[in-house]
Structure 1
Amino acid sequence: MLQSDVIIIGSGLAALSAAYHLCHQKKVTIITKSSWKESNSMLAQGGIAAAISEKDSWQSHYSDTLVAGCNHNNDEAVEKLVQNGITEILEWFHKGLQLDCDEEGNLCLGKEGAHEHHRIVHAGGDATGREITKFIYNLIKQSVTIVENEMAVQLLINNGSCYGVMTKKETGEIKKYIAAKTIIATGGCGAVYGHTSNAAVITGDGIAMAYRAGAEIADMEFIQFHPTMLYLDGACVGLVSEAVRGEGAYLVNQFDERIMQNVHPQEDLAPRDVVSRTIFYEMKKGNQVFLNISPIKQFETRFPSITALCREHHFDINSGKIPVAPGMHFLMGGIQTNDVGETSIKNLFAVGEAACTGVHGANRLASNSLLEGLVFGRRLAFHLVNAPFEIPFHHDETDLENISEITFVLPTKEEIQSIMSTFVGITRTEEELAHAAKWLENYKDSSSFWQFNVKNFTISEIEIINMLTVGWLITTSAMMRSESRGGHFRVDYPLCDDSNWLKRQLVRIKEEMQVGV
């Protein structure tokens, strides 16, 4: 039984940000079920949004985030994100993070969908997530304990308070890690869907584990599908960053018709939910969709990772058109937290995509995810540095005494992905959601959802149980929201009417900008 001040479950950017700001004052242990290199943060191509330009302002970034989020954002959380984001990026830059600059040493700022200004900073062209994740990892690796290839399977709870986590290895060995504070930073749940930009290990483990422990979960119906994944032979095989459209690429069908014209004022740079639905409808008509990259000069230099992805799958980018389709990209919901990561369970915290601060609303603005990991990872760490640290509850038993010994006949991961993609996808209806819910509930225990003895299942089987749990949370949440908003689009219900609210917000922001607030 190993003891720390703080346990962080996960190894993406939010986890590393929190660890960086904690590790010199607290004993920190990071636990990740595979390698620290396998995270969505490492795959993030687009960049990090921050209002650095003199022509830009945090108020404009704030406004764009609210508009993309369809009036479902937590306004205060958004203000903290965009205000703190500016200094966050500049501080990492001054610490030595190699961000892309022009010949004069000024940061290169790109533009992406639903952003009014050029405000996206990049590293390594289209490898921003990998570069900043590696940079912070190298800063902390000597100061924290990093446990790889162990899956967190059950939170340790006593009298409503978390005191650590139980893990399982591929060999079946079960271990306990005790801590005064436990942070879930396991990312979202992309693997619940068949087509996804997420790493294969992102099976919703942290959210499912928190749900079983009794934590409040929120906004699970809001799923963002990235419009442009490389689509070959009927499968999505990798992400084609929104930054490509920001540099001038545009969407066409096989007849060279521009499919985003007359759909949205921002056309190809419309919010992701709008672009994804447009591509989805085009494909339902039997058409193919391509990203025309011919306007981009020196594509291979600007987007080396996407070029390598295409070559890996033997696709020639010299054709000038990349075949694309939407894929599950980001979960706006998750474990309900406040703006310092506190959950409804004492001493349990969450940060990053696993958490729901309300900062993204119903639809995340492009390149706000890495920013969220940095800003809220720091906020959580500073909160814990100043928080009282009690001696954790100590228990010598297995903490499994009250868990059913019943085993389940489980579906395959592919079966879950097929149900979720078909019935709880880009568009939804009451009938489709009810069908998915009924299918998922076939695996419901008579007394509660998927309370299980971890001794009875392999890691792969526990992942399946977590996927079932999260899939059910998404589906039933979608059934409860009888409107279309952002990443939740109900064909049988109308769009939300935010026009009056948006007008009020924009007027307030413009007034603040005029008086220099």
Structure 2
Amino acid sequence: MNNTNVLIIGSGMAALQLAKRLHCHTNVIILTKSTLKDNNSYLAQGGIAAAIGKQDSPIKHYIDTIEAGRNHNNREQVLEMTKAAPVLIKKLREDGCLFDQDHSGSLQLGMEGAHSEKRIVHSGGDGTGRKIIDYFSESLSDNIHVLENMFVYELLVDPLYNYCYGVKAKNQDGVIQNFYADHIVLATGGAGQLFNFTSNARTVTGDGIALAYRAGAEITDMEFIQFHPTLLSKNGNGCGLVSEAVRGEGAILITEDETPIMEGIHPLKDLAPRHIVSQTIYDYLKNGKIVYLDISMIRQFSERFPTITGLCKKNGMDLSSGKLPVVPGSHFLMGGIRVDSYGRTNIQQLYAIGEVASTGIHGANRLASNSLLEGLYLGARLAERIESMNRKPTVLPSNFSKGIVNDIISTLPTIEQIQCSMMENVGIVRQEKGLRKQKEWLEKFGYSQWKTTDLDGVSIGDINRLYMVITSWLMTTSALKRTESRGGHYRTDYPFEDDANWLGKRIIHRQMGIEVEQNEQIEAAFAT
């Protein structure tokens, strides 16, 4: 039997920060569905936002985060995170993680969209995620055991006392293993692969959210999906991310005849919040125009952006033209499993951190380079919380409940069908007709049996498709329920923010259905 103190599902920034911050006498098992570095954190080109500059402050960082999040944020959480950011960077540097410096030895600080100051800390130019994940993975202590290619498909929850005591997982051969722990932490990432245009790693399919939903965890803010404005485009398809830092260095979006498309759209022009830039590009593409990122003004581009340069060469792009064709694609999920400021869910002993969790920090639209920061922040906070608790052995229920075996798997759509339909009906621009069409289509695939189906005998690929359908439904129904536009949620039939009816309200999926709750500070809904 696999017993441990802390079981972490996922291997991105939040997961590894948590593991590293736990005491060396705490036994930790990390389960990851692919390999240790096959995740969004590793792909992250942008950096980490932190108010380190002389003219900057955590309050300025806080204000920018609230503005980007369109006042849907948990303000207390945002302020605590922006205050912690410089300390988190300092701690990483002291522990040996290297960041880019100028000639005087000071940290280089970059500018990105919707930031009022230069505050983006980088490592390896545009390879920050790769550098930090490499640092974490190479410094894991002996108390941390990583098991790769383990797909967690069920949370073991005692229904009588509402606590999670373990998980079921399958290896590549489909062999089932049970893992038990005092603390189970979901850090599985977001859901970008639900759309056919995405910057996300191939593993990021939203399975952690569906996993938690089936177990009875509350899910919230699923309508808020950030579409990154600039994926490198090849034959009209996205083939990799072009970091927002490129526009921070002066690049602008233009049409083929070199018309700047962000002129007159927003005071920040090309550095406007991502949802505004993405929607503008989408409008041009819809009208048959090609949109380019003009990089001709950036000196020594290949040195400043080696990852993007490699991506361009891989796809046969000529950098000497000074123009990169771009399309928007799904990038970050602001919603997810509802948690408090320590990552606690409504199920005892079950936590969620990173992109799979909805802390309220990002609000309706994430500020650039706040995602790696949030992972560091919540990983550290949860480690402190776990270490402060008295150790007690996990008590396993005497009876293991079994689900119902039914035949919904054979009816499931293909991954390509899910991705294309989600992009068409729940993508950058939405309206009631398309959302209702998508909801009805998804519910054809065994809706009434999603929470009860026994998955022990189902293949990993089929479970993944089922979980993509469930998470897609959570997104679609939330987008249909919110009759306004805010942040990453844009509806043509309700094109404006509606503060009178929606400010501070969150759409929450619970076991008994979907509810709208008036509670801006998520923390207040949880017992201390």
> What TM-score do you get using the length of structure 1 for normalisation?
0.94
CA distances 1:238-265 after superposition (whole Å, capped 9, x unpaired): 0000000000000001110000000000
Indicate conservation of the 8 Å contact 2:44/2:130, yes or no: yes
Corresponding residue of 1:491: 492
Map 1:189-204 to 2 at 5 A: 189-204=191-206
Aligned to 1:14: 14
Q: Distance in 2 between matches of 1:221 and 1:143?
A: 39
Residue 95 of structure 2 is aligned to residue 95 of structure 1: yes
Query: What is the DSSP-based 3-state SS (H/G/I as helix, E as strand, rest coil) of the residue aligned with 2:444?
Result: helix
Q: Which runs of 5+ in 2 are unaligned?
A: 504-528
CA contact (8 A) 2:25 2:143 kept: no
Q: 2:308 aligns with which of 306, 330, 335?
A: 306
Aligned counterparts, 1:226-305, within 5 A: 226-305=228-307
Matched position secondary structure for 2:66: helix
Deviation at 1:381, TM superposition (A): 0.8
Deviations 1:400-422 (A, max 9, x none): 62333434221100000011000
Q: Counterpart in 2 of 1:324? A: 326
Partner SS, residue 188 of structure 2: coil
For residue 377 of structure 2, give the secondary structure of its aligned residue in structure 1: helix
Q: Please tell me whether the aligned partners of residues 229 and 327 of structure 1 are also in contact (alpha carbons under 8 angstroms).
A: yes
Distance (Å, rounded) in 1 between the aligned partners of 2:217 and 2:94: 38
Q: 1:472 aligns to what?
A: 473
Is 1:336 the counterpart of 2:304 in the alignment?
Answer: no
Residue by residue, what CA displacement relative to the aligned partner does 1:339-363 show, whole Å, maximum 9, x if unpaired? Answer: 1000000100000000000000000
| 8 Å Cα contact 1:444/1:450 also seen in 2 | no
Cα distance, 1:452 vs structure 2: 2.2
| Structure 1 residue 200 displacement after superposition | 0.4
Q: Give yes or no for the alignment of 1:142 onto 2:142.
A: yes
The range that moved more, 312-321 or 20-29, is 20-29
Show the counterpart of 2:79. 79
Partner of residue 217, structure 1? 219
What is the number of equivalent residue pairs in this alignment? Answer: 499
SS for the counterpart of 1:177 is strand
Partner of 1:376: 378
Provide the C-alpha distance between the structure 1 equivalents of 2:310 and 2:438, rounded to a whole number of angstroms. Answer: 37
Aligned match of 2:58: 58
Q: Distance in 2 between matches of 1:270 and 1:382?
A: 36
| Post-superposition CA distance 1:136-163 (Å, at most 9, x none) | 1211153301110110100011131100
Whole-Å Cα distance in 1 between the matches of residues 320 and 361 of structure 2?
39
- Equivalent residue runs for 1:492-507 within 5 Å: 492-496=493-497
Alignment-derived partner of residue 119 in structure 2: 119
Q: Deviations over 1:59-110 (max 9, x none)?
A: 0000000000001000011011100011101111122211000111010000
Aligned twin of 1:514:
none
Kindly provide the amino acid, as one letter, of the partner of residue 316 in structure 1: D
Equivalent positions of 1:407-422 (< 5 A) are 407-408=408-409, 409-422=411-424
- In 2: Cα distance, 1:256 partner to 1:400 partner: 63
- Does the Cα contact within 8 Å between 1:8 and 1:31 map onto a contact in 2? yes
**Structure 2 counterpart of 1:143, one-letter code:** N
Q: Which amino acid aligns with 1:340?
A: Y
Structure 1: which amino acid aligns with 2:463? I
Displacement after TM superposition at 1:15 (Å): 0.2
Return the alpha-carbon distance in structure 2 between the equivalents of residues 325 and 238 of structure 1: 10
CA distance in 1, matches of 2:155, 2:456: 14
SS at match of 1:456: coil
Per the alignment, residue 524 of structure 2 pairs with none
Residue in structure 1 matched with residue 525 of structure 2 by the alignment? none
Identity of matched residues, %:
48
Q: Which residue of 2 aligns with 1:460?
A: 461
Question: Offset of 1:26 from its aligned partner?
Answer: 1.2
Corresponding residue SS for 2:383? helix
Q: Distance in 1 between matches of 2:398 and 2:28?
A: 22
Supply the AA of the counterpart residue of 1:296: I
The AA in structure 1 aligned to 2:30 is I
Residues in 2 aligned to 1:497 and 1:34: alpha-carbon distance in whole angstroms: 42
Determine the C-alpha separation between the residues in 1 that align with 2:21 and 2:376. 10
Is the partner of 2:456 in helix, strand or coil? helix
Q: Are the counterparts in 1 of residues 484 and 498 from structure 2 also a CA contact under 8 Å?
A: no
The CA deviation string for residues 29-82 of structure 1, in whole angstroms up to 9 with x for no partner, is 000011001010000001000000111000000000000000100001101110
Structure 2 CA distance for partners of 1:476 and 1:403, relative to 1, 3 Å: same
Cα distance in 2 for partners of 1:106, 1:157 equals 49
2:47 is aligned to: 47
Match in the other structure for 1:507: none
Which shows bigger deviation, 82-91 or 403-412? Answer: 403-412
The C-alpha deviation readout for 1:109-156, integer Å capped at 9, x for no partner, is 000000000000100000001111111121115330111011010001
Deviation of residue 8 (structure 1)? 0.3
Q: Which amino acid aligns with 2:446?
A: K
Give CA-to-partner distance per residue, 1:440-490, whole Å, 9 cap, x none.
0011243x4353222232111111011001000000000110000000001
Mapped contact 1:450–1:465 kept (Cα < 8 A)? no
Q: Which structure 1 segments of 5+ residues have no match? A: 503-517
Deviations for 1:177-223, whole angstroms, at most 9, x for unmatched residues?
00011000000011111111110011111111000000000000000
The code of the aligned residue for 1:216 comes to: E
AA partner of residue 178 (structure 2)? K
1:156 & 1:410 partners in 2: Cα distance?
25
Q: Find the residue that maps to 2:110 and give its secondary structure.
A: coil
**1:23–1:144 Cα contact (<8 Å) kept:** no
3-state DSSP of counterpart to 2:422: helix
Distance across 2 between alignment mates of 1:207 and 1:320: 41
Counterpart residue identity of residue 416, structure 1: I
Report the CA distance between 1:396 and its aligned residue.
7.5
Correspondence for 1:4? 4
Give the secondary-structure state (helix, strand or coil) at the position aligned to 1:140. Answer: coil
Letter of the 1:242 counterpart: E
How many Å separate the matches in 2 of 1:317 and 1:390? 59
Where does residue 405 of structure 2 map in the other structure?
404
Cα distance in 2 for partners of 1:286, 1:233 equals 13
CA distance, structure 2, for counterparts of residue 498 and residue 14 of structure 1 = 33
SS in 2 for 1:428: coil
TM-score w.r.t. structure 2 length? 0.92
- In the alignment, the residues of structure 2 paired with residue 181 and residue 439 of structure 1 have an alpha-carbon distance, to the nearest angstrom, of 37
Worse-superposed segment, 25-34 or 135-144:
135-144
* Residues 488-514 of structure 1: per-residue CA shift (max 9 Å, x gap): 001101311569x99xxxxxxxxxxxx
Q: 1: CA distance between counterparts of 2:257 and 2:394?
A: 64
Cα RMSD of the aligned pairs, angstroms, is 1.5
Given that 1:220 and 1:333 are in contact with CA atoms closer than 8 Å, whether structure 2 keeps it comes out as yes
- The aligned counterpart of 1:513 is none
Q: How far did residue 170 of structure 1 move? A: 2.1
Please state whether the residue corresponding to 1:455 is helix, strand or coil: coil
- Hey, what does 2:438 align to over in structure 1? 436
